[in-house]
Amino acid sequence: MKTVTLGAAAVAADSAAAAPTGGKIVHHVFFWLKNPESMADREQLIGGVRGLAKVEVVRSLHVGIPASTEQRDVVDSSFHVSEMLVFDTVADQKAYQDHPAHKDFVAKCGHLWAKVIVYDMVTV
């Protein structure tokens, strides 16, 4: 049994190393508001996020709030607002981070959130 496990691990490692690197970059951000009961704060954050669509390198932008899906141990719906942006390349994602519109968003909306978590991935 140990040999099979080690063999599977080796195959998984080889597959990960051989994974394509030319996919889209997905930048998924989760925000926890300082004042989660404030609909005005939530709407201000959502409006700020929507304004990021004007950055030229953003291919798509989705903004959302927790869905009323089935509560399961693997579902974390503790966030208040989320954004998902798609870029063509890592360089485009970096250009977005440095873009004046993104910096302006952080300056104008940063006071609204208590916590932010970012998950970046490349599609395969």
Q: What is the pLDDT of residues 25-57, one digit of tens each?
A: 999 999 999 999 999 999 999 999 999 999 999
Would you list the domain boundaries of the chain? 20-67+76-122
Supply the DSSP string of 56-74, one letter for each residue.
TT--EEEEE----PPP-TT
**Single pTM value for the model:** 0.81
Cβ(52)–Cβ(58) below 8 Å: yes
What are the tokens at 19? 């994974």
CATH code for the part of the protein at 20-67+76-122: 3.30.70.100
- Flag whether pLDDT at 11 surpasses 90: no
Q: At residue 66, what are phi and psi to the nearest 5 degrees? A: -55, 135
pLDDT computed for residue 10 by the predictor: 44
Task: Identify which has the larger pLDDT, 94 or 1.
Answer: 94
